[in-house]
C-alpha cells in the first residue's frame, strides 16, 4: 500500500470487519480500589468498631435513649463512602488516555470520532497539544512527543516517519499522520493503567491530625473501658445497665467524630461554591491544599495577558532581501507551519496567503525547549522562526523598544543549508531577515488581582518561555511588585537556577524541564506551591505543583492533569479560589477547640475515676458523671449547629500551620474547668448532703455553660446574626434541659444548687476571658 492509499484510511467495510474481530480501542481498567474496598475502608475501621461495640453494649442493656450518637457515626461513614466513590468515578473517567475526539480518515474523508471508536489500522491526524489515543506508527510528518506522563522523562522525543507513538503521550510540536498499530488492552498506556491505576490516598493535613488522636484513643479505649466498667459494676456495685451507660459515656467522649464529619461537609460545600463560580474541582481535598499555598507560580501568556496576540510592527534587517520578498517567504513559512499557538495565529493574520505555495522539503516544528522552528523549501533554502536571542546575534533599538513595551519579539532568518532532521541545530551561516513585534494586552483586572494576592502574603513568581525583559515589562504594566528581579534561564545551569529561585521573581526563557525544577526547588524549601498554566509546556510543572490550576481554553493535556479547571479561563478568579480554601481550613481551625474540649475532659476524668480505686473504699470511688444522652444533647447545641454555620464565614488570613497543637491548647482551659466543676459538685455536694440528682443537675448545667464559652469565643467579633446564633444555641440548651430533664436523668436547679451554679459560672467565665485575652490570637477569631 503506497502513502496515498494509506492516507485514504479504512473503508467502512474494513472498519466493520475489525469491530467484528473486537479490534477496537476500548479498554476499561478496573481500579485497584473497588467499591467494596471503599465501603470496607469507611465502615470496618477501628474507630467505627469501637463505637459499634459501645452501641451493642447499650443495646444489650436496653439503653435505647443513649444510642442517638450512633446516627452520627453512620452518617460519617456514609459521607466518607460517597466522597471516595466520587473520587473513584473521576479516576475511572480521567485515565491516562483523554476522551477528546480524534481526527481519523475513513473512506478518504477526515472526520472526528471518539478515541474508543478507533480500530486497528485506522489512520489518524495528530497536531501539537493533542494526545496520542492509541499506539501508532508515523506515516508522514514530524513531531516531538512529550512522554513524561508515561516515562517520567522530561526530554522531548523526536518522531519521524516509521517511529512509534505511545498512547498517553502528547505532541509538544509538529503534526503527523499515523496508523494505529495496537488497540485496547494491548496499548502501552492501557498496560500502565492496569499496573498503576489507583485512587490516590486522601491528602488532608486536618484528617491526618485527627487520625493521630483516633489512633491514640483507639489504643487506650479498651483497657480504659474494662477498668471503668469493673470499677462501677464490681467495686461500686451499680446495676449492670448503669455501669454500661456510665462507662460508654467516657469512651464516647474520647472518640472525636464531629470534627471529621464537619471537615468533609465543609470541603464539599467549597466544591459546590467554586462550581457555581465556574471552577471545576477535580479533587476535593485540593481545596484544603489551596488554603496552605504560600507561593503562586504564574504563566504569562493567557494568565497575566489575554493571550490574544497581534503583530504590531516589523523591522527589516537584511539588505539583500526586499520587504516584499521577506513577507512572501514568511507567508510561505506560515502556510506550511503546523504550529497552532496564539503567536502563529497572529502572524497568519498579518501576512497574505501566497498565490503560489512553495514546495515543502522538510520541517522542524517549533518547540519550547529549542525556542525556534524551521522549514526548508525547494530552491529557496531553509527559513527559521523563533526567539531573537537564538536567531540574532546581539540586539538593536527596535527589539529593545518592543521589549520595553512588553511586546514579544520574534526573528525570521534564512540559511541556504538543508535542515538536519536527525539533530536539529542552527547553522553557522544564518542570516536574520526581519524582527516581528507581537503585542499581547494585559488582562483587565490583572493588576488588582496581583496586588490583592501579594497583600495576602502569597509570594508570586512568573515563569515564562518569553524573553525575560519582555516578561518584566509586561509584569510592570500589570503592577507586579518585583518586576525588575528577572533571570534568563537559557543562560544558567540547573544548579545556578536552583540557587536563584528564592531571590528571583520572574523567570524568562524557561524550558519545560526548568519549570518543573523551579517548582521542585520551592517545595524543597518548604513552600506550598500552586501553578497556573494552559499549555503542553506547562504539564511537568503542573504535575509537580502541590495544586495545579489550568484554563479551560488551554490544551486538553493540561485539563486532564489539573486539580482545578477555570471554566471561564479567567486569571482573576484565582484569588477567590485560594481564599475559598483558606475559608474552609481557617474556620475548621477556629471551631476545632470546641470539639477537643470533650476529648480532653473525657480522658482526664476517666483517669481520675480509675485513680479513685486506690482509696479502696466503695463510697469514695468516682463514677464517670455523665451519660450518653446528656453528652449527645449538649453536642447538638455546642458541636452541632453553631460550628456548622461558622464554617461558612469568610476567613482569608494565612493558615495556621500547627492545627492540632494550637486547637488542643485552646481547648484545655475549658476542659480543665469542666473537670474542676465536676469534682467540686461531687465533693461539695457530698459534704452538704445533696442528692445524686442535684449533683448531676449542677454538673450538667456547668458542662453546657463552660462549653458555650468556647462557642461565644468562636463567634467574636459579635454582630447581629452571631448574637442570634448564640441566643439560639444557649436558649436551646436551657430549654431542652428544662423540658427533657426526665430523659436526661437530671432535675431543675434548686435553692441549694442555683447560687452555687451562679458563683461557679461567674468564676469560670472570668478565668476564660483572662485566658483568651492573653493566649487567644485575635486573628483566629471569626471575621466580619
Which residues have a catalytic role annotated? 299
What HEC string does 529-589 produce?
Answer: EEEEECCHHHHHHHHHCCEEEEECCCCHHHHHHCCEEECCCCHHHHHHHHHHHHHHHHHHH
CA 268 to mean position of chain CA atoms: 13
CB 446 within 8 A of CB 304: yes
Closest CA to 535 of 568, 569, 507: 569
Grid cell 506551591 — which residue?
529
The CA distances from residue 24 to 12, 182, 195, in Å, are 14, 9, 21
Describe the strand order of the beta sheet including 459-463 as a list of residue ranges: 279-281, 564-566, 547-551, 529-533, 295-298, 459-463, 506-508, 486-488
> Cis ω on the peptide bond leading into residue 717 (within 30° of 0)?
yes
β-strand 360-364 against 372-377: which pairing, if any? antiparallel
Q: Which three cell numbers stand for residue 122?
A: 485506522
Beta partners for 549?
532, 564
The alpha helices in 416-493, defined as continuous H runs, are 446-455, 468-477
Phi, psi of 26 (to 5 degrees): -115, 125
- Quick check: helix, strand or coil at residue 126? strand
* Strand extents, DSSP E, 592-749: none
How many whole angstroms separate alpha carbon 300 and alpha carbon 293?
Answer: 19
Q: Find the helix packing angle between 240-254 and 628-635, rounded to 10°.
A: 40
Q: What is the DSSP string of 174-229?
A: EEEEEEE---GGGSHHHHHHHHH--PPPP--HHHHHHHHHHHHHHHHHHHHHHHHH
Grid cell 453528652 — which residue?
631
How many whole angstroms separate alpha carbon 416 and alpha carbon 781?
Answer: 72
Phi-psi region of 546 (alpha: psi -120 to 50; beta: other; left: phi over 0): alpha
What HEC string does 243-311 produce?
Answer: HHHHHHHHHHHHCCCHHHHHHHHHHHHHHHHHHHCCEEECCCCHHHHHHCCCEEEECHHHHHECCCCEE
CB 177 within 8 A of CB 124: yes
What HEC string does 6-38 produce?
Answer: HCCCECHHHHHHHHHCCCECCCCCCCCCCHHHH
How many whole angstroms separate alpha carbon 714 and alpha carbon 778?
Answer: 11
Other C-beta atoms closer than 10 Å to the C-beta of 226 total 11
Beta partners for 462?
298, 506
Q: With the CA atoms of 659, 661, 663 and 666 taken in that order, what torsion angle do they form, in degrees rounded to the nearest 10?
A: -150
Other C-beta atoms closer than 10 Å to the C-beta of 611 total 11
How many whole angstroms separate alpha carbon 533 and alpha carbon 550?
Answer: 5
Closest CA to 709 of 593, 589, 586: 593
Amino acid at each position: 500500500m503506497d502513502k496515498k492509499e494509506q492516507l485514504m484510511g479504512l473503508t467502512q467495510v474494513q472498519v466493520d470487519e475489525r469491530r467484528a474481530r473486537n479490534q477496537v480501542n476500548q479498554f476499561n481498567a478496573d481500579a485497584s480500589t473497588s467499591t467494596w474496598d471503599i465501603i470496607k475502608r469507611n465502615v470496618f475501621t477501628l474507630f467505627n468498631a469501637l463505637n459499634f461495640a459501645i452501641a451493642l453494649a447499650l443495646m444489650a442493656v436496653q439503653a435505647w435513649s443513649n444510642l442517638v450518637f450512633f446516627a452520627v457515626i453512620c452518617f460519617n461513614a456514609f459521607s466518607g463512602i460517597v466522597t471516595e466513590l466520587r473520587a473513584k468515578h473521576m479516576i475511572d473517567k480521567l485515565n491516562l488516555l483523554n476522551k477528546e475526539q480524534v481526527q481519523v480518515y475513513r473512506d478518504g474523508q477526515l472526520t472526528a470520532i471518539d478515541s474508543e471508536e478507533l480500530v486497528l489500522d485506522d489512520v489518524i491526524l495528530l497536531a501539537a497539544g493533542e494526545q496520542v489515543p492509541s499506539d501508532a506508527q508515523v506515516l508522514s510528518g514530524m513531531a516531538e512527543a512529550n512522554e513524561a506522563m508515561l516515562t517520567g522523562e522530561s526530554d522531548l522525543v523526536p518522531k519521524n516517519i516509521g517511529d512509534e507513538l505511545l498512547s498517553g503521550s502528547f505532541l509538544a510540536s509538529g503534526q503527523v499522520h499515523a496508523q494505529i498499530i495496537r488497540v485496547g488492552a494491548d496499548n502501552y498506556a492501557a498496560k500502565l493503567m492496569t499496573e498503576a491505576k489507583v485512587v490516590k490516598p486522601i491528602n488532608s493535613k486536618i484528617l491526618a491530625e485527627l487520625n493521630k488522636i483516633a489512633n491514640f484513643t483507639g489504643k487506650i479505649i479498651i483497657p480504659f473501658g474494662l477498668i471503668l466498667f469493673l470499677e462501677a459494676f464490681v467495686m461500686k456495685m451499680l446495676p449492670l445497665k448503669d455501669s454500661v451507660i456510665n462507662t460508654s459515656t467516657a469512651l464516647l467522649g474520647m472518640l472525636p467524630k464531629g470534627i471529621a464529619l464537619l471537615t468533609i461537609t465543609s470541603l464539599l460545600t467549597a466544591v459546590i461554591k467554586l462550581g457555581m463560580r465556574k471552577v471545576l474541582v477535580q479533587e476535593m481535598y485540593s481545596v484544603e491544599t489551596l488554603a496552605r499555598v504560600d507561593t503562586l507560580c504564574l504563566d504569562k501568556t493567557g494568565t497575566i495577558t489575554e493571550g490574544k496576540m497581534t503583530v504590531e510592527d516589523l523591522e527589516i534587517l537584511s539588505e539583500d532581501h526586499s520587504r516584499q520578498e521577506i513577507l512572501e517567504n514568511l507567508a510561505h513559512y506560515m502556510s506550511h507551519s503546523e504550529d497552532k499557538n496564539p503567536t502563529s495565529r497572529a502572524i497568519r493574520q498579518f501576512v497574505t496567503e501566497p498565490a503560489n505555495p512553495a514546495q515543502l522539503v522538510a520541517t522542524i516544528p517549533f518547540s519550547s525547549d529549542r525556542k525556534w522552528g524551521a522549514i526548508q523549501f525547494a530552491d529557496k533554502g531553509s527559513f527559521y522562526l523563533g526567539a531573537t536571542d537564538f536567531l540574532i546575534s546581539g540586539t538593536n533599538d527596535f527589539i529593545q523598544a518592543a521589549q520595553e513595551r512588553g511586546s514579544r519579539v520574534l526573528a525570521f532568518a534564512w540559511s541556504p543549508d538543508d535542515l538536519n532532521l536527525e539533530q536539529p541545530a542552527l547553522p553557522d551561516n544564518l542570516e536574520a531577515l526581519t524582527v516581528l513585534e507581537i503585542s499581547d494586552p494585559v488582562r483587565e483586572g490583572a493588576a488588582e488581582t496581583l496586588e490583592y494576592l501579594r497583600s495576602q502574603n502569597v509570594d508570586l513568581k512568573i515563569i515564562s518561555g518569553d524573553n525575560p525583559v519582555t516578561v518584566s515589562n509586561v509584569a510592570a504594566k500589570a503592577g507586579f511588585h518585583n518586576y525588575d528581579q528577572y533571570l534568563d534561564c537559557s543562560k544558567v545551569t540547573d544548579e545556578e537556577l536552583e540557587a536563584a529561585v528564592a531571590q528571583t521573581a520572574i523567570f524568562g526563557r524557561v524550558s519545560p524541564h526548568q519549570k518543573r525544577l523551579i517548582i521542585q526547588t520551592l517545595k524543597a524549601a518548604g513552600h506550598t506551591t500552586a501553578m497556573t498554566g494552559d499549555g503542553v509546556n506547562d504539564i511537568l510543572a503542573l504535575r509537580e505543583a502541590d495544586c495545579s490550576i489550568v484554563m479551560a481554553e488551554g490544551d486538553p493535556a493540561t485539563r486532564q492533569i489539573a486539580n482545578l479547571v477555570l471554566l471561564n479561563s479567567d486569571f482573576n478568579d484565582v484569588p477567590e479560589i485560594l481564599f475559598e480554601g483558606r475559608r474552609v481550613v481557617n474556620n475548621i481551625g477556629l471551631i476545632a477547640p470546641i470539639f477537643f474540649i470533650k476529648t480532653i475532659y473525657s480522658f482526664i476524668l476517666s483517669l481520675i475515676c480509675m485513680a479513685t480505686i486506690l482509696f479502696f473504699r466503695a463510697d469514695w470511688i468516682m463514677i464517670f458523671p455523665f451519660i450518653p444522652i446528656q453528652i449527645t444533647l449538649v453536642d447538638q447545641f455546642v458541636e452541632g449547629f453553631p460550628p456548622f454555620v461558622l464554617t461558612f464565614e469568610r476567613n482569608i488570613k494565612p493558615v495556621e500551620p500547627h492545627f492540632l497543637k494550637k486547637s488542643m491548647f485552646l481547648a484545655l482551659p475549658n476542659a480543665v474547668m469542666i473537670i474542676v466543676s465536676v469534682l467540686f459538685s461531687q465533693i461539695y455536694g457530698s459534704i452538704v448532703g445533696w442528692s445524686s440528682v442535684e449533683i448531676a443537675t449542677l454538673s450538667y448545667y456547668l458542662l453546657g455553660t463552660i462549653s458555650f464559652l468556647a462557642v461565644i469565643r468562636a463567634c467574636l467579633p459579635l454582630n447581629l446574626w452571631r448574637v442570634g446564633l448564640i441566643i439560639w444555641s444557649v436558649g436551646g440548651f436551657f430549654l431542652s434541659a428544662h423540658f427533657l430533664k426526665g430523659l436526661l436523668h437530671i432535675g431543675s436547679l434548686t435553692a441549694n444548687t442555683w447560687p452555687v451554679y451562679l458563683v461557679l459560672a461567674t468564676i469560670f467565665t472570668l478565668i476564660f476571658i483572662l485566658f483568651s485575652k492573653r493566649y487567644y490570637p485575635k486573628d483566629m477569631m471569626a471575621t466580619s
